[in-house]
Amino acid sequence: MAEQIQKVTTARCPRCQARLTFERLPGPDSWECCPECGASLRVVSARPLELRWEDRAYCDDDY
């Protein structure tokens, strides 16, 4: 049986420029957290994937 290749989508955090990896494409207006700096990121566009750093505290302050 043929091995299935999994596609991965990447984007950069607009705050710290860390590379974020997504196994599934996030939907527009969803929220993500940067694993490096803890920034709250809103998905502005899914195709192409565009993230915007928001002042709103969506993520925990444990970063």
Reported as a single tens digit per residue, the pLDDT across 39-62 is 999 999 988 899 999 887 878 655
Q: What secondary structure does DSSP assign to 5-63, as a single string?
A: PPP-EEEE-TTT-PEEEESSPPPTT-EEE-TTT--EEEEEEETTEEEEEESS--S-S--
pLDDT of 63 reads 45
Structure-model confidence comparison of residues 17 and 9, the more confident one: 17
Fold of 9-54: Rubrerythrin, domain 2 (2.20.28)
Q: Report, as an integer, the average pLDDT of 17-27.
A: 93
Instruction: Using pLDDT thresholds of 50, 70 and 90, give the confidence band for residue 5.
Output: low
